[in-house]
Amino acid sequence: ALRAGEEALCVFWKTTGTEGQWSTEGCTQVGGDTFHSVCSCNHFSTFAILMAVGEILDNFALRVVTHVGMSVSLVCLFLAIVTFLLCRSLWSVSVALHLQLSICLFA
């Protein structure tokens, strides 16, 4: 649900060369309420409804939670990788797959 001061944006993914960004060109919100949105676009592409734009994205607390969460995740993935590498007695195809997945997520 939308809170006071928030607005939903109807957007599509616009690619330019090798980069892309969300754009509102040709897309408008034609209906909806605080729980639903109806968008209309005059072209085919990858569409989305962006919410909580503006001051929410620049919130200091959100940045802190993001950095702390990412740091904790990387530490746990590193410990999982070390555990998989050091526990050779448990080595199996399943452990090898989990090791590879942990490495991919860490990267």
Note the pTM of the prediction, 2 decimals: 0.49
Average of pLDDT values for 40-67?
74
Tell me 17's DSSP state: T
User: Could you write out the DSSP letters of every residue in 22-39?
Assistant: EE-TTEEEEEE-SS-EEE
* Tens-digit pLDDT profile for residues 63-94: 888 899 999 999 999 999 999 999 878 888 98
Strand partners, 37: 32
Tokens of 100: 């590879």
Question: Do the strands 19-23 and 37-41 form a parallel or antiparallel pair, or are they unpaired?
Answer: unpaired
For residue 1, the model assigns a pLDDT of: 47
7 Cβ contact partners less than 8 Å away, ≥ 6 residues apart: 53
Cα 2 to Cα 51: distance, rounded to the nearest angstrom = 8
In eight-state DSSP terms, residue 44 is: -
Calpha distance 67→63 (Å, rounded): 6
Question: What are the tens digits of pLDDT across the range 11-46?
Answer: 888 888 888 888 888 888 888 877 788 888 888 877
| Domain range annotation of the chain | 9-50, 60-105
